[in-house]
């Protein structure tokens, strides 16, 4: 039996993928514009040990309250808060400081609905066919399915695209090293920034929806959908599965 991994093989697949042959073209930029980049002093805040302990506990406490929430309130969220959390996500480190991310923020109800239609159509096929029995059974405890009300209801949908390469003003391509891990780190920071302001989301990676959503949102072919985050306040009757996290002794190894 062939080892088929739909979440790898299809999740981020995009038929508009630039082929390896095209990559070998001479469209790539060969210059090194920032060779002369200055290095400047850096001395960020240093805290006394007691403060460090306090801050480490407090931040853990805030983050330990984060849950993936699928029941989101339609209550509006200030636009400036969204601007700020995205600005924060953009502080992530990236390969060769290429900042290979695009955050598409959707609040228009008709656009949210178009996204819902695409996602639900693909997710129904995912649950019924592509994911297979084992995957569907592994998720049963989460009580998820292909119906995604939150895509209409959440005041904001943030779609995070990774730029597989950049395009310079001279039209040449710029290598975006480690673009997937860079954008994934920025998504992690975005989740923390949302948690910090009391907003909720669920990290959804809608299998097989990338190409259609990219076209709907008129993003260029070098961008691939990495994650879709519905964002808002939790619904007053929101529930979450009663999950527990591993103890630190099970996740850390000190050598
Ligand atoms: N993307 C589907 C299925 C799904 C997959 C995993 I892995 C989850 O942790 C949860 C759901 C969905 O959003 O329903």
Among left, alpha and beta (phi > 0; psi -120 to 50; other), residue 132 is: left
- Determine the Cα–Cα distance for residues 153 and 198; give it in Å rounded to an integer: 17
Residues with CB under 6 A from ligand 1: 123, 139, 142, 144, 204, 207
State in Å: Cα 74 to ligand 1 middle.
22
User: Among 139, 201, 230, which is best to mutate for testing ligand 1, by the most ligand atoms less than 8 A from CB?
Assistant: 139
For ligand 1, what atom is nearest to the CA of residue 206?
A: 1
pLDDT at 34 over 50: yes
Query: Which residue's CA is minimally distant from atom 6 of ligand 1?
Result: 139
Residue pLDDT, tens place only, 47-75:
999 999 999 999 999 999 999 999 999 99
Distance 158 CA to ligand 1 centre (A): 17
User: Is the C-alpha dihedral spanning 17, 20, 25, 29 positive or negative?
Assistant: positive
Q: What is the arithmetic mean of pLDDT over 10-34?
A: 61
pLDDT digits (tens, 9 = 90+) for 150-196: 999 999 999 999 999 999 999 999 999 999 999 999 999 999 999 99
Nearest residue (CA) to ligand 1, atom 13: 204
CB neighbours of residue 233 within 10 Å: 18
Nearest alpha carbon, ligand 1 atom 5 = 139
Q: Per-residue confidence at 10, pLDDT binned at 50, 70, 90?
A: low
pLDDT value of position 17: 47
Half-sphere exposure (Cβ direction) of 61: Cα atoms closer than 13 Å: 6
Reported as a single tens digit per residue, the pLDDT across 202-228 is 999 999 999 999 999 999 999 999 999
Distance 69 CA to ligand 1 centre (A): 12
Q: How far is the CA of 209 from the centre of ligand 1 (A)?
A: 13
> What separation in Å is there between the alpha carbon of 16 and the centre of ligand 1?
24
Q: How far is the CA of 99 from the centre of ligand 1 (A)?
A: 27
For residue range 232-251, what is the model confidence (pLDDT) as tens digits? 999 999 999 999 999 999 99
What is the tens place of the pLDDT at every residue in 89-126?
999 999 999 999 999 999 999 999 999 999 999 999 99
Residue 22 clears pLDDT 90, i.e. is over it = no
pLDDT band, very low/low/confident/very high, at 7 (cuts 50, 70, 90): low
Q: For a ligand 1 pocket test, name from 144, 145, 213 the mutation site with the most ligand atoms within 8 angstroms of its C-beta.
A: 144
Task: Return the ligand 1 atom nearest residue 123 CA.
Answer: 2
Q: What is the pLDDT of residue 90?
A: 99
**What's the CA-to-centroid distance between 12 and ligand 1, angstroms?**
14
Examine the pLDDT at 14 and tell me if it is beyond 90: no
**Spatial contact of 201 and 191, defined as CB atoms under 8 Å apart:** yes
Query: Which pLDDT does position 30 carry in this prediction?
Result: 83
pTM of the model: 0.92
pLDDT at 15 over 60: no
Pair 193, 62: CB distance under 8 Å: no
């Amino acid at each position: 039996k062939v080892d088929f991994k739909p979440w790898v093989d299809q999740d981020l697949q995009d038929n508009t993928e630039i082929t390896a042959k095209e990559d070998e073209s001479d469209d790539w930029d060969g210059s090194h514009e920032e060779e002369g980049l200055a290095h400047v002093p850096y001395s960020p805040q240093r805290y006394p040990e007691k403060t460090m302990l306090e801050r480490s506990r407090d931040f853990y406490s805030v983050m330990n309250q984060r849950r993936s929430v699928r029941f989101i309130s339609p209550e509006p969220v200030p636009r400036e808060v969204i601007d700020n959390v995205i600005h924060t996500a953009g502080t992530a480190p990236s390969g060769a400081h290429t900042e290979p991310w695009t955050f598409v923020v959707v609040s228009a109800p008709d656009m949210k609905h178009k996204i819902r239609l695409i996602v639900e159509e693909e997710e129904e096929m995912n649950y019924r066919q592509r994911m297979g029995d084992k995957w569907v059974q592994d998720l049963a405890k989460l009580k998820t399915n292909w119906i995604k009300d939150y895509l209409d209801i959440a005041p904001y949908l943030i779609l995070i695209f990774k730029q597989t390469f950049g395009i310079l003003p001279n039209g040449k391509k710029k290598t975006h090293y480690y673009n997937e891990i860079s954008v994934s780190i920025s998504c992690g920071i975005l989740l923390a920034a949302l948690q910090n302001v009391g907003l909720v989301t669920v990290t959804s990676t809608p299998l097989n929806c990338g190409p259609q959503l990219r076209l709907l949102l008129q993003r260029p072919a070098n961008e691939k959908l990495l994650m879709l985050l519905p964002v808002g306040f939790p619904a007053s009757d929101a529930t979450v599965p009663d999950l527990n996290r591993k103890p630190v002794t099970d996740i850390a190894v000190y050598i």
